[in-house]
Structure 1
């Protein structure tokens, strides 16, 4: 019989592992009651993708979460990607890769729900065992670290141009003689100046801190979209675009600031098809990448029966946004008086440091990337430490060492190889190959394999003569199901072939 004075057990630090386990599961429960005592530590935290801490969200909120998760840093690389592929080829790729990645994301969400798993890492563990689970974890962390490399390049580019603009306005002279040289102060050195700030931002313990830091992210996204589309609309108004080459004399512009000059030649050449189209395919795979967190986003949808519809609408919204950014942005940076030879991999670099509008957008981009960067690496910390230690914060020492390693790696890349378009393309191609093309197809093949396949053997030594037509038809069912499954497996395997082609094409440059 229970004693009236009996109180619930409340573990303390003295209870060691029990304390930490109960504290950990309790933290999971506060985020989403449905996940209590089930979600592994390395799963993506649903609070990162929701507008509030409510356990369920409306369909429009789910669609918006999907869109917001996909729309990110690649927006400023889109005009460059379109230039590499040509306008028509770019439109084809945006639609084609959007459809493929939507379907593979649908497969991932479908089998995560079917197997009652909230993390694709665990789902792969059911299919390929412990080693497959570990490889998937490594790949998941790799794509996130790869994303932060691109973020660091954007942070540094914005920071360096902000310094140049301020220096010009304050002192009237340039603070640097070049942008990427080693024998003078340049953008090669500013990543190391920023490294201390990044390390500081990576060492917060509570996830709520990162959520607060990123709370204004949607404002930054909309500001960047409006800016890029406005640049394109301006070019469409003042320029005439043609597919025929016309020589342009620089002397005809007769003004120093191209952006504010309306006297430049209004005939601008655009390209419809180019052989380097594959560069955009890697960027798009990265842009549509949602696969390692789709299960937890969709699980929080209030109407589960509408998951497929909402996922499709989320991808339609993202594809529409990228189509607008890519196409209209391409027109914007080919026209408007910008140099028409090449669009920069970071389109914002096309503006001079003293351009007032670009200066404001650089501050917005710098702030946005400075909040997204630590949040993405918090995901890495949660996945890695959660898998091996059962908590996302094993100790200050562990977190500090990881912060040093991650920030050093991204800082070196930002200094030595500040090519954000190529970085996004390679990361998207390699990591997208695994998560967006291989894993979903393998999951589909694995979980649709006919049950009769394991029991059916064409070399069975026992023969049974069918007495009726119905028994005869039933005897052929395993073979027919197996044949259908094989055809389906071959058709789906073509998606993997496409993924490998995207990777191989990244190494080709005509």
Structure 2
């Protein structure tokens, strides 16, 4: 029995709809973010190859660059020699998201995701490379965590306060980064040894958590410029002429190329099963649904290519509704029916719900924050 069915049984139809809707929104948000990232990787890889003869010697393509460190601020200007025709045809936001359809279009209509599930195991190679990439850059930059505010008036001094009210940017992103509850059944349904599912999920969660914490902490601690300049895609802070970053983009592109069809497959299974009682009512249904999903991804990649904002809002809402609100309500309802509900339990779970709701509201507060570099 799926969690949405449990919500419907204990809380009613509204809870079942909310569970399904939150789950679908999570998958759609992930798909949008993947499309934006793949567009970015594809753009930078092709651009690097096209400008390969002078790429290594030209330095960064950003105006506010620190060439000796190989890092830079985000800027719309470029130091590369311009090719008007190439720049017009190969634009990260206006053309590349459409070219990506040619690559991913044939891959998202498969009836079974078995191939992508197995091939995605190679993604660990990309993760290991990225971990090594960050470790190498950390060794080159050193640790740059100036907590001393004595010289904050100097232009080249970067001061890091102990606390900032914009921390909800991190909690919103983390809510989606660790969100896999809606996919567990779909992922583990065809396991050869289902008795190991709990063990495997625990190991997977630990590995993911360690990887996230390591990547975020090490890159943040070592980044030698103002921390507000760190992009939501950390590779955007590495000079586009960096060969190691070029290799990382290639690896991540192929990894995401395998994960993206899985996201759309799970979305398709949950939506079509809810509407038609079948995960494959017909090829026509699948093609139309995939076309709509791809169109939505392209629209965001063109008009709102800010993955931090997308992850923050989607993660905060779905984390609140699917991971906190509904489980707490189901738990309290079962305790109420059993006659074992207690006031401390009600207070504790109510606090969790308020915490999740506050995290969601905090994302709106960030929109009006004067430091618009929080979500690059």
Report the counterpart of residue 321 of structure 1 in structure 2.
211
Distance between the aligned counterparts of 1:445 and 1:139, measured in 2? 20
Matching residue within 101, 108, 124 for 1:202 = 108
The alpha-carbon deviation at position 137 of structure 1 amounts to 1.6
The alpha-carbon deviation at position 445 of structure 1 amounts to 0.4
Alignment of 1:107-506 (within 5 A): 117=1, 119-170=2-53, 174=81, 185-189=90-94, 190-236=96-142, 241-244=145-148, 245=152, 247=154, 269-294=159-184, 297=188, 302=195, 307=198, 315-332=205-222, 334-335=223-224, 338=225, 342-452=229-339, 481=340, 485-506=342-363
The alpha-carbon deviation at position 167 of structure 1 amounts to 2.0
Deviations 1:436-457 (A, max 9, x none): 11111112101112535xxxxx
* Alpha-carbon contact 1:164-1:176 (below 8 Å) kept: no
Report the counterpart of residue 5 of structure 1 in structure 2.
none
Question: Which segments of 5 or more consecutive residues in structure 2 lack a partner in the other structure?
Answer: 56-79, 370-376
Deviations 1:6-47 (A, max 9, x none): xxxxxxxxxxxxxxxxxxxxxxxxxxxxxxxxxxxxxxxxxx
The alpha-carbon deviation at position 303 of structure 1 amounts to 6.4
Structure 1 counterpart SS, 2:364: coil
Structure 1 counterpart SS, 2:47: helix
- Shift of the 349–139 alpha-carbon distance from structure 1 to 2, 3 Å rule, reads same
- Shift of the 176–409 alpha-carbon distance from structure 1 to 2, 3 Å rule, reads farther
Distance between the aligned counterparts of 1:403 and 1:347, measured in 2? 29
The alpha-carbon deviation at position 315 of structure 1 amounts to 4.5
The alpha-carbon deviation at position 287 of structure 1 amounts to 1.4
Distance between the aligned counterparts of 2:135 and 2:269, measured in 1? 36
The normalised TM-score by structure 1 is 0.60
* Alpha-carbon contact 2:22-2:318 (below 8 Å) kept: yes
The normalised TM-score by structure 2 is 0.79
* Alpha-carbon contact 1:164-1:174 (below 8 Å) kept: no
Distance between the aligned counterparts of 2:208 and 2:105, measured in 1? 32
Distance between the aligned counterparts of 1:248 and 1:407, measured in 2? 45
Structure 1 counterpart SS, 2:137: helix
Structure 1 counterpart SS, 2:241: coil
Distance between the aligned counterparts of 1:159 and 1:125, measured in 2? 43
Report the counterpart of residue 67 of structure 2 in structure 1.
none
Distance between the aligned counterparts of 1:505 and 1:377, measured in 2? 29
Distance between the aligned counterparts of 1:165 and 1:412, measured in 2? 25
Deviations 1:196-252 (A, max 9, x none): 32222111122223324423222223322332343334332xx55422337456xxx
- Shift of the 340–326 alpha-carbon distance from structure 1 to 2, 3 Å rule, reads closer
Deviations 1:82-132 (A, max 9, x none): xxxxxxxxxxxxxxxxxxxxxxxxxxxxxxxxxxx3x21221121123443
- Shift of the 438–174 alpha-carbon distance from structure 1 to 2, 3 Å rule, reads farther
- Shift of the 496–229 alpha-carbon distance from structure 1 to 2, 3 Å rule, reads farther
The alpha-carbon deviation at position 293 of structure 1 amounts to 3.5
* Alpha-carbon contact 1:198-1:407 (below 8 Å) kept: no
Distance between the aligned counterparts of 1:339 and 1:198, measured in 2? 37
